[in-house]
Amino acid sequence: MVRKLLAAMTLTAFALVGAGAAPALASVRTTHNPTVDIVSDRTGGGLGPRIGGAISQLAEDNQAQLVKDSIDKAFHLAGQHYNVIMMNLAQHYQEQLNNKVLYANIRWEGIYYGLWVFDDGHFENQGKGGYENWGMVGWFKKNNGVVDFSKP
Amino acid sequence: MGILSRKMTAAAVGAAIIGGVVLPSADAMAAPARPSAPAAAANAQGIGVDAFSHVLDITKTILDAIEAANKLKENRPGYVKSLLEAAFNAQELHENYNVMVINTGNKFNFTLNNVVYDAVAHDSGYPDFHIYVFDSGRFENQGKGGYENWAFRGWFDRPGNAGVVDFHKKG
């Protein structure tokens, strides 16, 4: 999103330099909803579709907010009984999670994320960090890109 | 020389405007039809377009096309791994099978045992990818590597981090 913001600034500069340019170009920030595919759901009680539905209704204008809101939705809808992690699948990662009760593919603006809801385990982000690339909520110890989750 | 072949110039323009200030090029100032319109457009990704003639200015459209192509390229490993994770985590499979996803344009050989799923995924933005879900076997990628071309998950040995992968049954 940083890139988009900078691109918007560029357009602003155009609007200022070029008298004929439409000034409204730079200020419009559009939101987009993610597409959510629940790949596996062992939560029971229709929780998977509820989580998928809630995330697909998120209208976001940047990656970081999408990640924050998605993990928050999943965590709270799952009754705060499970850990949740979301990862930009274009990055390198290693997933060794136990008792995964839900996995979903989330696509937003051409970016592919994985969302895991689970009991405990180990996860390594071997790529870029930041909320635009990953986020987690639950009970864990984090050391840079390495996260060890424990049961609540 | 087509617009898209002027990449070097375009990149130089991109570097020049990172601070958010864009100065129209000499070409733009000389253009009779729309003297105040920008001749160069770029964004912070270092991509850009130099328009040498723009009676009708489609620079924004061209810039959007370059940006879309870059974004597709950047997210291709994510697309490949979304296929991989979908197959590996699929409800019906209970994470009991090895999964291989590979660009159908690659040369590859395999001997796989008990293939429970075999499909090709199509997406207009990407090449076709073949998905194999199986118990065990040997797979050899003779083409390009990297997550943009193949990804696999399961239980395996991969000597020397090379193109040959020996998969064994979960157990």
Residues in B lying within 8 Å of A, measured between beta carbons:
17-18, 20-24, 34, 36-38, 41-45, 71-72, 74-79, 81-82, 85-86, 89-91, 95, 125, 147
The pLDDT confidence band at residue B18, using thresholds 50, 70 and 90, is very low
* Nearest chain A alpha carbon to B91: A40
All structural domains of chain A with their residue ranges: 1-30, 31-149
Percent helix, strand, coil in chain B, to 5, is 30, 30, 35
Residue B43 has a pLDDT of 63
Could you tell me which residue, A148 or B39, shows the higher pLDDT? A148
A40 contacts in chain B (CB < 8 Å): 89-91
- The residues that bridge with B35 in the sheet, in sequence order, are none
Q: What angle do CA B43, A10, A13 make, to 5 degrees?
A: 155
β-strand B126-141 against B150-153: which pairing, if any? unpaired
The pLDDT confidence band at residue B42, using thresholds 50, 70 and 90, is low
B18 contacts in chain A (CB < 8 Å): 6
Each residue's pLDDT tens digit, A41-98 = 999 888 999 999 999 999 999 999 999 999 999 999 999 999 999 999 999 999 999 9
* Nearest chain B alpha carbon to A106: B82
Report the distance separating Cα A143 and Cα B143, nearest Å.
36
* Nearest chain B alpha carbon to A9: B20
Entry field: residues in chain A: 152
Does residue A115 register a pLDDT over 70? yes
CB contact under 8 A, B78 and A89: yes
Mean pLDDT of A4-8: 37
Distance from CA of B75 to the nearest CA of A (A): 6
Distance from CA of A149 to the nearest CA of B (A): 20
Tokens of A75: 């965590």
Residue A26 has a pLDDT of 53
- The residues that bridge with B153 in the sheet, in sequence order, are B99
Report the distance separating Cα A105 and Cα A34, nearest Å.
10
Mean pLDDT of A139-149: 97
Residue A18 has a pLDDT of 36
Each residue's pLDDT tens digit, B47-83 = 888 888 878 889 999 999 999 999 999 999 999 999 9
Does residue A11 register a pLDDT over 50? no
Entry field: residues in chain B: 171
Mean pLDDT of A98-104: 97
Residue B46 has a pLDDT of 74
Each residue's pLDDT tens digit, B111-160 = 999 999 999 999 999 999 999 999 999 999 999 999 999 999 999 999 99
For residue B20, give the nearest of A10, A21, A40 by CB distance: A10
Does residue B8 register a pLDDT over 70? no
Residue with tokens 């879900």: B133
Report the distance separating Cα A68 and Cα B90, nearest Å.
25
Does residue A3 register a pLDDT over 60? no
All structural domains of chain B with their residue ranges: 3-57, 75-167
Does residue A145 register a pLDDT over 70? yes
